[in-house]
Chains A and B, each alone.
Chain A
Amino acid sequence: MTVLRLLESIHGHLGVLAVAALLHPAILLRRGRPLSRGLRWSIGLTTALVALAFATGLTIYDGYREHVRPQLLLEHYDTALLFETKEHIAWAVLTLALGAGVAALVSPRDAKAIRQAAAAFYAVAALLCLVTASLGTWITAVGGFPQ
């Protein structure tokens, strides 16, 4: 297995984990209650996981452009376009998770509305992350890095 193939696999697994992780603060923040220590950890780890999934995607991006994309564009054009769709959505997932995470962590005790808004941001990020992970799985099944 090549390093790129391994990183691609790690990226995919982190993406799927991120979907589940994003749902946790989306559910726990929905009432806008002040943060417990456990919820602070959950928010911090979720944000870190999403950032890590995005970062591993960026590390294999050049390799993908060089080794996978040309073949995919020529043989499976529609699937190659789905990759472009996936990368646009992934950016929104990262920014929504970062914004919601910081907003929830710094909000004062009486800022219930801000924490409820952060919950909504997490819920939207989870939905978009699910689409991203599904597209990624499909694209890799059609044409990923060579073994």
Chain B
Amino acid sequence: MTALDVEQRRDEQRRRWAVAALAFAVVAPLAYIAQRLIDHALTGDTDALSMIRQARAAYPWRAATAAFWGGLAAIVAASPATASSLPRSHVGRYAMAAAGALGATVLVLAWLFP
């Protein structure tokens, strides 16, 4: 194996890690939103008194669960099979579109389902 091969392999590995990080950034907030929507569907609109009576702080658990799903998505995205199936020139464009859509979705849903 030549020095060039080693460098190419290292670059490919770094590219996979970068895509994995972007996958985490997209999936973790989506997993959080999904949990919040499920909570809302199960409990409906809550009033002030029932919110005060809540014994458990849901937020850290919800965030930790979302981080788990984000981590899982990152592992899948970093796998060689996924990386080779992604068209390299489109990854950036997909990620930019995902960032915009994600920002709008988070804002709207956080506002509608506080």
B4 at interface (Cβ–Cβ under 8 A)?
no
Binding site for B on A (CB under 8 A): 32, 58, 61-62, 65, 69-70, 73-74, 77, 80-82, 84-85, 87-89, 91-92, 95-96, 98-104, 106-114, 116-118, 120-121, 123-124, 127-128, 131
What DSSP secondary structure best describes chain A's contact surface? helix
A124 touches B102 (CB 8 A): yes
- The distance in angstroms between the C-alpha atoms of A92 and B93, with both chains bound, is 20
A91 touches B21 (CB 8 A): no
B24 touches A99 (CB 8 A): yes
Report if A87-B25 is in contact (Cβ < 8 Å); known contacts: A106-B17, A124-B100. Answer: no
- In this complex, how many residues of chain B approach chain A with their Cβ under 8 Å: the count is 45
Which B residues are CB-close (under 8 A) to A73?
48, 51-52
Which A residues are CB-close (under 8 A) to B24?
95, 98-99, 102
Cross-chain contact of A92 among B48, B100, B106 (Cβ < 8 A): B106
B18 touches A82 (CB 8 A): no
- The 0/1 profile, CB within 8 Å of A marked 1, for residues 85-104 of chain B is 00011011101100110110
Given A87-B59, A91-B28, 8 new contacts (CB under 8 A): A61-B59, A88-B106, A95-B24, A100-B21, A107-B18, A112-B92, A113-B92, A117-B96
- The distance in angstroms between the C-alpha atoms of A82 and B33, with both chains bound, is 16
- The distance in angstroms between the C-alpha atoms of A114 and B11, with both chains bound, is 13
A46 to chain B, nearest CB (A): 14
- The distance in angstroms between the C-alpha atoms of A113 and B90, with both chains bound, is 8
Q: List 16 A-B contacts (CB under 8 A).
A: A69-B51, A73-B52, A80-B51, A81-B114, A92-B106, A96-B25, A108-B11, A108-B18, A109-B11, A114-B22, A117-B93, A120-B95, A121-B25, A121-B95, A123-B99, A124-B103
